[in-house]
Structure 1
Amino acid sequence: MSVHERSSRDAWTVANAKARLSEVIERAQNEPQTITRNGRPSVVVVSVEEWNRKSARKGSLAAFLLGSPLAGSELAVGRVSDEPRDIGL
């Protein structure tokens, strides 16, 4: 399969991403582009709009926790009251 026939789900190798950086950037405008190193996913290139949408703060941690589906579920969280173990130093 040539680079031109690449499925949008396939990843770019570092070498191909370097050689075709303009195309990686252009495709990242529509969907995230994965770049692999040594055959393993290493980084993902996304558009600025996608980055801003995913990384935007949406209130405080307290607001996030209160908005959880578990809020008001009466979930009981207990702690173990064991003593610390002795270790020799």
Structure 2
Amino acid sequence: MSTWPVQDAKARFSELLEACMSEGPQLVTKRGAEAAVLVDISEWRRLREAARPSLKDLLLAPAARGDLQIPKRGVAKRRPLELS
């Protein structure tokens, strides 16, 4: 993975983009600290899809995803049972 200072990344963005598409992810630094990574769109989609939990994982998770607010039963009277 190549490293680009933010000033170079701004000045030579099309070169940075070409390097990303041909060589792989490119790291951008700001004042010497890692700030961002430019990746190809297909790699981004693959990573995003891999990060999503499956329905099976959600259903088998030990903790609930949210609390359900179940209302209390009403006190309304039931209709009488009609015997035929």
> What TM bracket, shorter-length normalisation?
0.5 to 0.7
Q: Which runs of 5+ in 1 are unaligned?
A: 1-8, 67-89
Who is 2:10 aligned against? 18
* Structure 1 residues 47 and 10: CA distance shift in structure 2, 3 A: closer
**Where does structure 1 differ by over 6 angstroms across 4 or more consecutive aligned residues?**
none
Q: What RMSD over aligned residues (CA atoms) do the two structures have, in Å?
A: 2.2
How many aligned positions are there? 57
Radius of gyration: which is bigger? 2
Q: Which runs of 5+ in 2 are unaligned?
A: 62-84
**Which structure carries more relative contact order (alpha carbon 8 Å, separation 6+)?**
2
The TM-score, its normalising length taken from structure 1, stands at 0.55
Q: Does 1:40 align with 2:33?
A: yes
The TM-score, its normalising length taken from structure 2, stands at 0.58
Deviates more, 1:23-32 or 1:38-47: 23-32
